[in-house]
Structure 1
Amino acid sequence: MRVVHDPNGRERVLADEVEVAETFLSRARGLMFRRSIPDDYALLFRFDGQATRDLHMVFVPFDIDAVWLADGVVQQVKRLPAWTGRGRAVADTILELPAGAADGVAAGDRIAVQTASTRSSRAQ
């Protein structure tokens, strides 16, 4: 699985290593208590519909970039500082990336989460 930013038809891979927070506990924990994350990493939160979604950086000792998506369209991008960062926006999907990974991503851009089968079908 990978995360691809596609502004104006020019694909840019934001992450090649994607972890999905699927359970209540993994969503609540997020990146808490980790010392760092790899440069090509993303933590993906998928929800059943669009609603206002909050993020916090309690017990996260490093900065991240957070991206809120609704139907694959970026709603907000925000750098969240370690320990004290907070963010909120309407989304059905949230991505947490290493700080700097979302540089150049803006509201209105498209981001796709691709599986191996998605990538092979796009290459044809």
Structure 2
Amino acid sequence: MRVIHRSGAIDAEDESPSAPREHVLATDVDVADSFWSQARGLMFRRSVPDEYALVFRFDEPDSRSLHMAFVPFPIDAVWLVDGEVSTVKRLRPWVGLGWGTADTIVELPAGAADGVESGDTVEVVE
């Protein structure tokens, strides 16, 4: 499983959209697919590998929050609605909070979502 980011780049010379750029954000992907795995998230882990992602899928878009209680390292969080990025935020260890509208949330190591912006697409590929 992989997490792929696609952005519509802007050509600096004529300011027109160019072909989308594709970048692999993660190749080691876990899916939090139960109530307990979603509740636990990344809590109690000491770290995550550079190519890691934890994906939370929900039935429909809604306001979703994340907390960093018992997570001792920073992460990047990406909120998605139908694959389109609605919010991106770096969350601080232990005290970070974030929220956005999403039907999918992707948690990544800090720095992995650099360059991901609202309106881009992120896809989890089997």
Do they fold alike, i.e. is TM over 0.5? Answer: yes
Corresponding pairs, count:
115
Give the AA of the match of 2:112: A
Q: Which of the pair has more CA radius of gyration?
A: 2
1:90 is aligned to 2:101: yes
Stretches of structure 2 lacking an aligned partner (at least 5 in a row): 9-19
**Which one has a larger percent strand, Structure 1 or Structure 2?**
2
Q: What CA distance in whole angstroms lies between the structure 1 residues aligned with 2:40 and 2:125?
A: 24
Q: Which residue of 1 aligns with 2:3?
A: 3
Q: After alignment, is 42-51 or 2-11 more displaced?
A: 2-11
* Coordinate RMSD, CA, aligned: 0.4
Give the AA of the match of 1:7: S
Query: Offset of 1:103 from its aligned partner?
Result: 0.2
Q: What CA distance in whole angstroms lies between the structure 2 residues aligned with 1:59 and 1:79?
A: 16
Instruction: Give the share of equivalent positions with the same residue, in percent.
Output: 63
Q: What CA distance in whole angstroms lies between the structure 1 residues aligned with 2:30 and 2:94?
A: 21
Alignment deviations for residues 41-95 of structure 1 (CA, whole Å, 9 cap, x no partner): 0000000000000100000000000000000000000000000000011100000
Query: Offset of 1:10 from its aligned partner?
Result: 1.3
Q: What CA distance in whole angstroms lies between the structure 1 residues aligned with 2:121 and 2:90?
A: 18
Stretches of structure 1 lacking an aligned partner (at least 5 in a row): 116-124
